[in-house]
Structure 1
Amino acid sequence: MSRGFSLGATGFGLIAICYGFARFAFGLFLPQIEADLVLPDAVGGLIAGGSFLGYCLAIVLAAQLTERVGARAVAVCAALVAALGMLGIALAPSVAWLAGAVLVAGMSTGLASPPMAAAVAAVIEPCRWDTTNTLINAGTSAGVILCGPVALLLGAEWRLAYAVFACSALALALFACFCVPETASSRSPVAKAGPLSSVTLKRLVVASLLMGAASTALWSFGSQIVAQLLGWESAGAGLLWVVIGAAGIVGAGAGSLIARLGVDWANRLCLGALVAAIVLVGMGSTPAWTLLGGALFGAAYISLSGIYLVWGVAAFPERPATGLTIAFLSIAIGQTLGAPVFGLLMSQLGMDHALWLFALLALAAGTMRSSVAEAARPSPVSRAEKSPR
């Protein structure tokens, strides 16, 4: 097995567990959790936002830690933190405990992505960075896909589901120990982003923040929406999650989409799909339209996160972990703010108004231009000089 393949597979699995299980599964099980712990919609939204807040806190630290202690240590830490947070959710006896455990679980996602970007830069040839990074990023879909069958099998047993998730995170920590390279080393000073990158990054922050906020309409409240509109219980919501995750595998091709259309048009196309997804699920007229909306949402969200990953790395080709951090931190800030706001709007204005307002946020993100031409990559020689042996 080649080193690149084992790294890609491990990164895919780490992202699947941290994003699919530790972060996005909460929206799937939220109706059952609210029923057991007697949570109103607004409180559920605040707790869901805590997952994204944990991400924000961790991803800033992760970029620095990756450069100091190396990708392997941070990747293993991400898996262990995911296990701790999900075990805490499984054992949560109160709202306060649950909120703290959700925040810890959310931190694992912030720790997972930067070390994988740095590991890819150290092991993979520059011409394959975009393809490999977007493939690893699509691991979110695999995690979401697996959440669905768990919900179908266990029904309302969300505590048992999170215990299973925690065990899988512990197993992944072992794989990371062997497959993720130790990238920490003394390096020559890295190049800073130029004037173009500063403009690019400002627009990236706005676009990814708006997209992240819009996505919480379904990530955090998708189960509640289909429960209210179609009367679906945990089994139906689990099916929706399977469809979202399966369609999200399309996001693995975000690198190829960017190569064909460029960052700007790829971004607009996927944002249009995200808007259509929110509207279709929000209409909830028939199961078929709802599942079609779920499929569009999965494909659009994973593709967009891959697009913003490439956008950020292109602005910081010498510091891929930092470029990724800026992109994903902005998405998470939007999600941190979006989840409680959507819950409040839904309780005050109704579901329809909340959904349309959040669809407009996704449209607004499409007005941002990347200013990124074909990203300037370090040559293989320069990469070899900068990467640890």
Structure 2
Amino acid sequence: MTSTLRIGATGFGLIAVCYGFARFAFGLFLPGMRADLAFSATLAGVVSGGAFAAYCVAIIVSARLSERLGPRTVAVVAALVAGAGMTGMALAPSALWLAGFVLIAGASTGLASPPMADAVARAVPAPKQDATNTAINAGTSAGVALSGPVALVAGHDWRIVFAVFAAVAFALAAAAFLALPRHAVSSAGQAEHAMPAFNPNLWQLVGAALLMGAASTALWSFGGEIVHQRLDWSTTGAGLLWIAIGGAGVLGAAAGWLTERLGINTTHRLFLLALAGGLGLTGFGFTTPMLSLAGGALFGMAYVMLTGVYLVWGTAALPTRPGTGLMIGFLTIAVGQTVGAPLFGALMGHVSLQVAVAVFAGLALLPGVFGCRARYATGAAPTVPACG
């Protein structure tokens, strides 16, 4: 097996487990967890927001540790943290214990991303790096899509599901140890990765990513609860929604292709409309089973597409530091999710689900006020790399 295939397959599996299982499956199994452990929608929002906050801290720590310790060590730790968090979730005797382990599981996502990017840069030939990174990033959608059928089979037995997910995570730790390069970068290389000064172009990206991340928590954190209230679906039924979200999310791999042809701003605003539409179709009172699944598919495609847009945007905002531009965009999405999840939970718990969905569908449109000024020619680098 070539190093490209070995690293790509390992990274795909690691991202699928950490993002699809450890981070986003909480929203799928939330109704069953609330029924078993008796906690409010407001607390659910705080817990989910806390997991996103753990991601924010972890991705910063991981980027530095990957430089010092090498990608192998940090990737193994990410898988072990995911496994430990999900084991704790499976065994949690109360809502408080569950909350703590959700935070641990959520931190694994931040730990996983930097070492995989580092491993690709070190060990994959340059012509194959973009394709390898695309394959690894698609792991999120695959993990989300796979958790749906698991929910269909397991029903309300969420503890068993997370125990199985934890076992997969521990297996990925062994795979990462065998597959990934271990050497750290030199001290000179570490200095090159210092955080750059923020410029107006980068603030545009931060504003857009922050608001989109906040809006996305309506389905990522409460999708299972929404279809439970709207359609009286159990966790088994909500699994269909997760299949729709994850399956359509694979289409987001076309983000780079679309931005080259339509431009960042057109692609960005088009899929913000899709994100808002997906939230509305799934969460408004008029929804039906078919509309809800269509809304989930629209949401999944839009979310992955928008994260791809922010990757391209980050590269344009920092053309000489593309890796740092990507990290800033993803970190800001998670900051928005940290704020958005408890806000949606509070609105749903203290006002109504209808109002919460309406507010967050509107919020999904607001990132469109931010724009990138980079102009792209087909197959070429940006002619104006700054975004403002």
Q: TM-score, normalised by structure 1?
A: 0.90
Match of 1:350 in 2: 352
Match of 1:363 in 2: 365
Change (3 A) 1:87 1:346: same
In 2, the alpha carbon distance for the partners of 1:116 and 1:296 equals 28
SS at match of 1:366: helix
Match of 2:385 in 1: none
SS at match of 2:184: coil
Q: Which amino acid aligns with 2:258?
A: L
Match of 1:310 in 2: 312
In 1, the alpha carbon distance for the partners of 2:118 and 2:372 equals 23
> Retained in 2: the 8 A contact 1:134–1:251?
no
In 1, the alpha carbon distance for the partners of 2:193 and 2:104 equals 33
Is 2:161 the counterpart of 1:161?
yes
In 2, the alpha carbon distance for the partners of 1:156 and 1:135 equals 32
In 1, the alpha carbon distance for the partners of 2:183 and 2:273 equals 38
Taking only the aligned residue pairs, the percentage that are identical comes to 56
Is 2:171 the counterpart of 1:185?
no
The alignment yields a C-alpha RMSD, in angstroms, of 2.2
Q: 1:331 aligns with which of 330, 333, 340?
A: 333
SS at match of 1:67: helix
> Retained in 2: the 8 A contact 1:192–1:316?
no
Greater mean alpha carbon deviation, residues 185-194 or residues 147-156: 185-194
> Retained in 2: the 8 A contact 1:193–1:316?
no
> Retained in 1: the 8 A contact 2:218–2:344?
yes
| Per-residue deviation, 1:78 | 0.7
Match of 1:382 in 2: none
Match of 2:54 in 1: 54
**Structure 1 segments unaligned to the other structure (5+ residues):** 378-389
Match of 2:233 in 1: 232
Greater mean alpha carbon deviation, residues 88-97 or residues 118-127: 118-127
Q: TM-score, normalised by structure 2?
A: 0.91
| Per-residue deviation, 1:306 | 2.2
Residues 161-201 of structure 1 deviation map (CA, whole Å, 9 limit, x = unaligned) = 00000000011111111222235121355287888x72332
Match of 1:281 in 2: 282
> Retained in 2: the 8 A contact 1:130–1:255?
no
Change (3 A) 1:251 1:80: same
Q: Which amino acid aligns with 1:73?
A: T
**Structure 2 segments unaligned to the other structure (5+ residues):** 383-388
Change (3 A) 1:116 1:312: farther
In 2, the alpha carbon distance for the partners of 1:261 and 1:180 equals 37
> Retained in 2: the 8 A contact 1:85–1:105?
yes
> Retained in 2: the 8 A contact 1:137–1:306?
no
When the two structures are aligned, how many residues end up with a matched partner? 376
> Retained in 2: the 8 A contact 1:346–1:353?
yes
Q: Which amino acid aligns with 1:34?
A: R
Change (3 A) 1:215 1:122: same
| Per-residue deviation, 1:157 | 0.6
Match of 1:381 in 2: none
Change (3 A) 1:18 1:192: closer
Greater mean alpha carbon deviation, residues 178-187 or residues 4-13: 178-187
Change (3 A) 1:123 1:7: same
> Retained in 2: the 8 A contact 1:16–1:142?
yes
Match of 1:97 in 2: 97
For residues 110-259 of structure 1, the aligned pairs below 5 Å read 110-124=110-124, 129-186=129-186, 187-188=188-189, 189-190=191-192, 198-259=199-260
> Retained in 2: the 8 A contact 1:309–1:327?
yes
Residues 74-133 of structure 1 deviation map (CA, whole Å, 9 limit, x = unaligned) = 111111110010001011011221111000000000111111222222234556555443
SS at match of 2:371: coil
| Per-residue deviation, 1:320 | 5.2
In 2, the alpha carbon distance for the partners of 1:244 and 1:78 equals 24
